[in-house]
Amino acid sequence: MLTRFAGIALALVWMASQGAARKNDSTAPAETRGENESVVITATLYAKPDAVKEVLGSDLGGHYIVVAIEVTPRFGKEVAINRDDFVLKTDKDGERSTPFAPSQIAGRGAMVIRQTGGAGGSGMHDNDGPIIGGYPGTIGQPHRVGGDGVGSAGAPAGVEAKTRTGSSEKEDPMLAVLKQKELPETKTDKPVSGLLYFPLEKQKAKDLELRYIPSDDKITMRFRQEKQKK
């Protein structure tokens, strides 16, 4: 009888350890790498809010995906690094976005939105309108302007946009953190690294594609999540 109970206990311990291992596997950051004639790019994806919080100390309201980028120029060639040369696209709904600047996320001029209760579709599929909204806008989240109708203008029905301005607004301490960690925009022949902040949410690594689109030679990269063992 004691042997039987010991066997059951060991089985339960093994099942618990396997569950913990699977949990650790799912939280391992996804990575990717690509190159062209000018640069080598490596990227690490932080798609979940808790992963973003580990990197920044804040989850940015759960509305952003953070990508750590390293750009390494090749053959001693000087390259221009620009934030808007990077695009993150999801297969989930066709959405794509360039990164936000820190001031668009936590600055006094950041634009936020709130739902007003009116009707309106999501309008998120391959819409080229600009994205508005962001942390710390507790009244809204990033949303693409243009709605779901062809030729529509402004924010979609049921959404009110507002720009946070005025000297009464205290500077968000998160702004300094975002600026410090951001991928610098510069010209260099040396490796440069930093973070990019994409206004996308609730995405899985397997659905995401990172594009680097300079003026000469595009790089397309898919994220791969390696299993992380204890």
The pLDDT tens digits for 181-190 are 999 999 999 9
Confidence of residue 21 (pLDDT cuts 50, 70, 90): very low
Contact criterion met (CB below 8 Å) for 69 and 183: yes
**DSSP code, position 74:** S
Q: Note the helical H segments in the chain.
A: 2-27, 49-56, 102-106, 173-181
pTM comes to: 0.68
Confidence of residue 164 (pLDDT cuts 50, 70, 90): low
Q: What are 83-94's pLDDT values in tens digits?
A: 999 999 999 989
4 CB-contact burial (10 Å; exposed 0-12 / middle 13-18 / buried 19+):
exposed
Count the Cβ atoms, other than its own, within 10 Å of residue 158: 14
- Coil, helix or strand for 120? coil
For residue 136, is the peptide bond before it cis, meaning its omega torsion is within 30 degrees of 0?
A: yes
